Structure 1
Amino acid sequence: MNAPGAIVVGGGLGGLWASLRLAEAGFPVRLFSLFEVKRSHSVCAQGGINAVLDTKGERDSIEQHILDTIKGGEYLANQPPIKSLCEQAPGLIRTFARMGVTFSRTPEGGLDLRLFGGVKHRRTCFAGASTGQQLLYGVDQQVRRLESQGRVEKFEWWEFLSLLIDADGRCRGILAMDLRSLEVRAFPAETVVLASGGFGQLYAPKTTTSTNSTGAAASRVYQQGAWFANGEFFQFHPTAMLGHDKTRLMSEAARGEGGRVWVPRDPGDRRDPTRIPERERFYFLEEFFPAYGNTVARDEASRAIWRVTRELGLGIGGGDRVYLDLTHLDRRFVATRLGAILEIYRKFAGSDPLDTPMEIFPAAHYGMGGLWVDFERDADGGMRPGSARNHATNIPGLYACGECDYAYHGANRLGANSLLSASFSGRVAGEAAANYLRGLDPARPALAETVIAAERRRQEAINQRLLSADGEENPYTLHQALGALMTERVGVVRDNAGLEQALDELDRLEARLAQVGLGESSRWANQTLVFTRQLADMIVLAKAVAASALARDECRGAHHKPAFELPIPEGSFPGDPEFEDYRARWRENNTRWLKTTLAEYAALRPRIHYQAVDLSVCPPSEPRDYR
């Protein structure tokens, strides 16, 4: 028989790498994307991609990259995948370079490196401030080569609706909808790799993510039985530009290249920031975290901004704003290294960051949580190369990679590890799916036509119901309500009463959505229909996030409940009785909470249970201390 086919959902770095590896292994690939592949959200990543190359002679090491990633994630990620991620990062960078990616280089021609948050060594490769775009275009060219040979077929402007699952519970393909004609079609396949990105639109408009980052695809497979892991850990990027329509990311590279975050010491100071002398400025990150200063990890930086503005009332003009200042740096240096973000700020704020400090505030940026995926550990303590278990979900035949999986970041993602994990996980998932296909029984029966017909009828019925709905609720208004709710109740700082209220309000939003009216019944390119379907799945996913946050009574990484905080006693250091008591309580807390949260879909509220974390590389011994 012909080689069994594979389907990849998502055309970002994860999906392209998975497609590349599957096609190179000899399997025909159909690649589905909501839009042209080159518009995938990976292009928005600005600052860089991590790998230990040590071209600056700082004695950086792969072991240190592993430790930084493990500790930055508060020990909550399984460690064998992290070990392999960091070990293979230098080779991945060299592969990108051979693909033609235009990395920034030193005058001598070597790969340049910059500093990113949560680390003390420069290990971030970059292409100006548009690194994600350059990486995506490099891999896309390789996929296009295979496409020209008939080994990859792209379905752009198609949306994933659901999995086709046989009587044995195996994934055997997908149902997808043509976003132009609204045709619903079945695409049988023997394996599916989901690389559909993140779910930042749960927090819109106060999110840096694309309007297509709804998490709907992940929510749909979650509703079909896939586990959703660590949903409570959502990173708020500390330096986002404020805007009426959305917030726009001002890359962490701005801090890594010497940018400083501050507010006036006098909250009533209305002077132009360039006229406020140094002694009257509060460089709070440098004072709160002297060991790291402005390059402290994102979760700490975001909470520090929250504290300064919301608790101390020191925000610019008394509001939710602080300064990110580049004006003290060499203008030519900044323009060369950060040109892309400078142009974004000039366009949408109307001022030049080279002349006056930018105004920024934390915004929802990246979900560390996602679909649960497996791995197989090898004798060296990393992931066994090529194992069919790597990046497999709990639904046989379904794999997940990129931002829609949970595997590499634990409770908090270090900057510039996202492009690395997206690329690496896509490559691993493609290789694992290829070996899964090789292990299938050649005599397996085809997927029953009754299964395909039943699922198609179900999906078409949803479309028909929405097209004929004449309720009074507007889906876009409901989305605004969802974003406001999640930002306020499941945001930078949380408490159990607010999370209970969030779950109750999500139930009410779900009920209101049942009374929706689209305002149009067109069967051609009906964007309101598409969005309303996505919104229903976003509300379901928001329940998993809120329920996971409610269940975890601790502070860890991006999940912060002050009622359960274990603060380091002020002025104490290792050896002091106060610090040793704190260390003992930290270890006791780890015994209880150092576990992966798993959410299983249920009609009313998700079922939450826990799974032990693999700590075989670096067991936790010391609390993270950014002082």
Structure 2
Amino acid sequence: MKRPRKVIVVGGGLGGLWSALRVAEAGFQVEIFSLFEVKRSHSVCAQGGINACFDTKGERDSVWQHIVDTLKGGAYLANQPPVKSMCEQAPGIIRTFERMGVTFSRTAEGLLDLRLFGGVKNRRTVFAGASTGQQLLYGVDQEIRRLESLGRVQKYEWWEFLSLVKDRQGTCKGIVAMNLRTMDVKHFRADAVILATGGMGQVFGHRSTNSTNSTGAAACRAYRQGAWLANTEFFQFHPTAMLGDDKTRLMSEAARGEGGRIWVPKNPQENRRAGDVPEQERFYFLEEWYPSYGNTVPRDVACRAIWKVVHEMGLGVSGENKVYLDLTHLNPGFIEHRLHAILDIYRKFHGADPVHEPMEIYPSAHYAMGGLWVDFEKDQSDGGLKPGSPRNHATNIPGLYACGECDYGYHGANRLGANSLLSASFSGRVAGEAVANYLKGLEDELLSVPERFYLDEVKRQQSINLNLTSSDGSENPYTLHRELGEIMSGQVGVVRDNAVLNTAIDSLQELEQRSHSVKLDASNEWSDQGLIYVRQLQEMIRLGAVIAGSALARDECRGAHFKPAFELPTPKDAYPGDPAYEAYRESWKKQNQTWLKTTVAEHSADGPRISFREIDLSVLPPEEPRDYR
């Protein structure tokens, strides 16, 4: 009798739980590894909603328009078959969440309520107040708990993934992980591994909306063992983040979708309270520059507009790096009902009430469009994903899959708001189904992999721990992390320049060397938080080098990657449709090796090796990136 096949899922957010659910329902054993209780995963921080076309507002919205908005909003840099299937299956995913017990906000008639989000003109975002991510995660977690009670799922909470274990052929056959309470390092066998470890916002330091656990360390460890990283230069800055000394906190895009307005005083010396500034003396720059979309332009467009107003025009509020997000013109009861969660956050951490005075906000590092490269198989019959194909969400390492924010698959150069919860749920479901079919095709037995493969990897990880704990260096890891954040936010941020990027890469190389000479103050061998932090910090620095290197390699302006020196050239007095103008643009595209291609980074001892791969553009012929003016 053969041993039951087993799958390890690393990560307990929406992507991880959905993948575990599908694998377990297919009859296989699942072990979930998480840095903490899965209900604390970063998915709970998603606020505004999840996209799906229901058109309950009668705006003639359609699934096709959802596909178009996602592809155009991502500047045509996403492979199109996965996006097509994601948008088509979005309504079904919402219905499944409902059956799990998620209570979405509804209209007075009992229909699913919808709100407006950035980059679209139709209300398409289903929501549960302003804590949608939390409600979705709790719904899936209840299903996982049911399978736990049946013995088909086992959770390892408070464990950290350290590395993959591969057999002679380079196939992933398990992991090495560390118990964060005892610091024990152990190996775990598996027939396949799914990484669902979330984003990497902490690479940008405390100027990130992400939690302190969103380090990207797991993805980087897989990268250093041979997995490819793709499109990492595309890092989304959220335009409306609340400033803070410890970190920035997200003020959901739902605030703009419900009617919030962004503005600054026209007078740079204005010193009156925001509410005392007359309407005619306010500069509503998004509404003036982008009248077709106004305050609901995509995040990359809004961020660059705020950057221009603050840094180029010198109109930041009180001469500082901030602008106003104003809800005070809206009905207090309405916004309290629709946005209660973010209002509470602002009141608690800023000490002011957004119902009565505008919020002070500024762009902050928020979401990685790039991540681990994953494959897909196209369904030739309808142009979407082939259901259940073992290629779907497979990395370039056999037996290793990735889903959620740690993969690069759905957003191209820019993610539209509320597509994150959708992509996490959809990709987790697809990855789980792909792994189930991958297991059905396996012929070898897991126990045939020699024990020494696992023991050698455990010894290697223990050696890394010992070297760090016995280091007599003098570097403070918390200081190094702050320096990393300053380098990334200041030199690899909203606006980029090649000379500055080269400086950033040099600084990151120096920072990595210094990270090997840290001083750890802990004297105990259990629950050594300093050791955990330093190991994550080293991976964040390496990820920073991949992001900066990929940004240096892409000489164009596309989505969240903006190099003013490489804006698409426009001959003087030319206009779209003019033959000379179109010929000039086509010539430019042919000379640019990155045009409509995916950036792929491979690990090497000398740093990331950058190459470019073709994109599947079979669903929607690419045009110029959408002009939101």
Common fold by TM > 0.5: yes
Quote how far apart the aligned CAs of 1:621 are: 2.6
Aligned to 1:429: 431
Aligned to 2:292: 291
Residues 126 and 372 of structure 1: CA distance in aligned 2, closer, same or farther (over 3 Å): same
Quote how far apart the aligned CAs of 1:604 are: 2.2
Q: Which of 410, 413, 417 is the aligned partner of 1:411?
A: 413
Aligned to 2:389: 387
CA RMSD, 1 decimal: 1.5
Quote how far apart the aligned CAs of 1:587 are: 5.0
Unaligned runs of 5+ in 1: none
Quote how far apart the aligned CAs of 1:365 are: 0.1
Cα distance between partner residues in 2 of 1:271 and 1:571: 43
Quote how far apart the aligned CAs of 1:539 are: 1.1
Cα distance between partner residues in 2 of 1:345 and 1:443: 54
Aligned to 2:119: 118
Q: Where does 1:261-300 land on structure 2 (aligned, <5 Å)?
A: 261-300=262-301
Quote how far apart the aligned CAs of 1:514 are: 1.5
Contact 1:266 1:314 in 2 (8 A): yes
Residues 293 and 24 of structure 1: CA distance in aligned 2, closer, same or farther (over 3 Å): same
Cα distance between partner residues in 1 of 2:446 and 2:334: 61
Aligned to 1:626: 628
Contact 2:568 2:585 in 1 (8 A): no
Aligned to 1:50: 51
Cα distance between partner residues in 1 of 2:296 and 2:544: 31
Quote how far apart the aligned CAs of 1:2 are: 2.3
Aligned to 2:177: 176
Q: Where does 1:588-603 land on structure 2 (aligned, <5 Å)?
A: 588=590, 592-603=594-605
Quote how far apart the aligned CAs of 1:469 are: 1.3
Number of equivalent positions: 627
Cα distance between partner residues in 1 of 2:519 and 2:624: 55
Cα deviations across residues 503-524 of structure 1 (Å, max 9, x unaligned)? 1111100111121111123111
Query: Which AA in structure 2 matches 1:281?
Result: R
Cα distance between partner residues in 1 of 2:429 and 2:608: 31
Cα distance between partner residues in 1 of 2:573 and 2:157: 57
Contact 1:566 1:582 in 2 (8 A): no
1:471 to 2:446 alignment: no
Contact 1:263 1:283 in 2 (8 A): yes
Q: Where does 1:179-194 land on structure 2 (aligned, <5 Å)?
A: 179-194=180-195
Quote how far apart the aligned CAs of 1:567 are: 6.8
Amino-acid identity (%): 68
Q: Which of 603, 606, 617 is the aligned partner of 1:604?
A: 606
1:208 to 2:213 alignment: no
1:164 to 2:169 alignment: no
Contact 1:372 1:394 in 2 (8 A): yes
Quote how far apart the aligned CAs of 1:624 are: 1.2
- Secondary structure, aligned partner of 1:161: strand
Aligned to 2:532: 530
Residues 232 and 592 of structure 1: CA distance in aligned 2, closer, same or farther (over 3 Å): closer
Cα distance between partner residues in 1 of 2:421 and 2:126: 11
Query: Which AA in structure 2 matches 1:610?
Result: F
- Secondary structure, aligned partner of 2:357: coil
1:62 to 2:63 alignment: yes
Aligned to 2:615: 613
Cα distance between partner residues in 1 of 2:483 and 2:625: 38
Query: Which AA in structure 1 matches 2:452?
Result: T
Cα deviations across residues 380-405 of structure 1 (Å, max 9, x unaligned)? 10000000000000000000000000
Cα distance between partner residues in 2 of 1:598 and 1:622: 23
- Secondary structure, aligned partner of 1:67: helix
Contact 1:188 1:447 in 2 (8 A): no
Cα distance between partner residues in 1 of 2:569 and 2:102: 44
Contact 1:241 1:248 in 2 (8 A): yes
Contact 2:189 2:446 in 1 (8 A): no
Residues 571 and 44 of structure 1: CA distance in aligned 2, closer, same or farther (over 3 Å): farther
Residues 570 and 408 of structure 1: CA distance in aligned 2, closer, same or farther (over 3 Å): farther
Contact 2:589 2:595 in 1 (8 A): no
Query: Which AA in structure 2 matches 1:526?
Result: D
Query: Which AA in structure 2 matches 1:557?
Result: G
1:327 to 2:328 alignment: yes
Cα deviations across residues 4-41 of structure 1 (Å, max 9, x unaligned)? 10000000000000000000000000000000000000
Quote how far apart the aligned CAs of 1:454 are: 0.7
Unaligned runs of 5+ in 2: none
Cα distance between partner residues in 1 of 2:622 and 2:392: 24
Quote how far apart the aligned CAs of 1:586 are: 7.0
Aligned to 2:400: 398
Cα distance between partner residues in 1 of 2:502 and 2:594: 22
Residues 507 and 202 of structure 1: CA distance in aligned 2, closer, same or farther (over 3 Å): same
Cα deviations across residues 425-448 of structure 1 (Å, max 9, x unaligned)? 000000001111110005566221
Residues 474 and 170 of structure 1: CA distance in aligned 2, closer, same or farther (over 3 Å): same
Aligned to 1:303: 304
Residues 118 and 572 of structure 1: CA distance in aligned 2, closer, same or farther (over 3 Å): farther
Quote how far apart the aligned CAs of 1:453 are: 1.2
Cα distance between partner residues in 2 of 1:577 and 1:103: 51
Cα distance between partner residues in 2 of 1:589 and 1:77: 21
Aligned to 1:565: 567
Contact 1:583 1:623 in 2 (8 A): no
Q: Which of 542, 545, 560 is the aligned partner of 2:544?
A: 542
1:459 to 2:438 alignment: no
Quote how far apart the aligned CAs of 1:466 are: 1.2
Cα distance between partner residues in 2 of 1:448 and 1:474: 40
Contact 1:468 1:521 in 2 (8 A): no
Cα distance between partner residues in 2 of 1:126 and 1:595: 34
Cα deviations across residues 40-94 of structure 1 (Å, max 9, x unaligned)? 0000000000000100011101110001000000000000000000000000000
1:37 to 2:51 alignment: no
Contact 2:209 2:248 in 1 (8 A): yes
Cα distance between partner residues in 2 of 1:207 and 1:215: 13
TM-score (norm 2): 0.98
TM-score (norm 1): 0.98
Cα distance between partner residues in 2 of 1:328 and 1:586: 46
